[in-house]
Amino acid sequence: MNIDTDLQYAFTEGIRDYMSEKSGYLQSQIGNPEGADLPNKKYYDPRKWLREGEQTFKKRLKKAFEDLNNINTL
C-alpha cells in the first residue's frame, strides 16, 4: 500500500468530482444553469473545491487506517 500516492489521488478525486458536477457554474463569473444573470462566486471560490478534496482525502485516510488495523490503538 502506497498511502502517499493514494492520498494524493483521493485529494485530486474530490476536486475532479466537484469540477465535473459544477461545470455549468464554472464557465464564467456570471450566468449558470439557474439563470443567465446569476453570480457563480460561491462555486469557483477555491476554498469550496479544496474542501471537497480534503473530504475525500479524509475518507481515504480512514480507509487506510482500517486496512492497517490501526483504529483506536492508542
What is the residue-level pLDDT of the chain in tens, covering all 74 positions?
Answer: 789 999 999 999 999 999 999 999 999 999 999 999 999 999 999 999 999 999 999 999 999 999 999 888 87
> Cell for 38?
446569476
**How much is the pLDDT for 71?**
87
What residue spans of the chain are helical by DSSP H? 3-21, 41-44, 46-67
Dihedral pair phi/psi, residue 45, rounded to 5°: -60, 120
